[in-house]
Amino acid sequence: MSRTGEPEHELVRRLLPYSLPAFAATALLGALLGGPGAAWSAGIAVIVVTANFVGNAYSVSWAARIGPAVLMAVGLGGFMVRLATLTVALLLLGRLGWFSPVAFAAAFVPTTIALLAVEMKLLAGRMQADLWYFPERSS
């Protein structure tokens, strides 16, 4: 991984290209196992995981440029915001006749686990705190 840029941006640059094949694979599997509704539900799960990953990466990257207290607030608060957003999205999607919560979960869980495994592999041997740079404030 490059040491010249922000690690979160580097992760996004390296992993985002895999989101389209993941979408296609989960949608195809959903279509084969449960029809078009399951295909869209599984595809939406990949989109949600991708959006969560990108949103987290950019918000943490932004907060790290400001300082440790903001980083902690964004890390904890951002998690709560993303969790609430996911809950509302699932409640709204559940009202649609074609949406399959089972297909969504069947794609969401393994996609999240795979993403976390790849992130851990890319960051192995380095502490996250060592990757951030907090600029000195001029007085």
**pLDDT tens-place string over residues 86-114:** 999 999 999 999 999 999 999 999 999 99
pLDDT, one tens digit per residue, over 5-30 is: 677 888 888 888 889 999 999 999 99
pLDDT above 90 coverage of the chain, percent? 44
Give the pLDDT score at 11: 82
Question: Per-residue pLDDT averaged across 24-53, rounded?
Answer: 93
Question: How far is it, in rounded angstroms, from Cα 42 to Cα 96?
Answer: 14
131 pLDDT above the threshold of 90: no
Mean per-residue pLDDT over the chain, rounded: 85
36 pLDDT above the threshold of 90: yes
Stated pTM of the model: 0.79
Token pair for residue 21? 């094949």
Reported as a pLDDT band with limits 50, 70 and 90, residue 132 is: low
Reported as a pLDDT band with limits 50, 70 and 90, residue 135 is: low
The answer to whether 67 and 134 have CB atoms below 8 angstroms apart is: yes
The DSSP result for 43-61, as a single string, is: HHHHHHHHHHHHHHHHHHH
Give the pLDDT score at 47: 94
Residue the block writes with tokens 């907090």: 134
Question: How far is it, in rounded angstroms, from Cα 87 to Cα 128?
Answer: 28
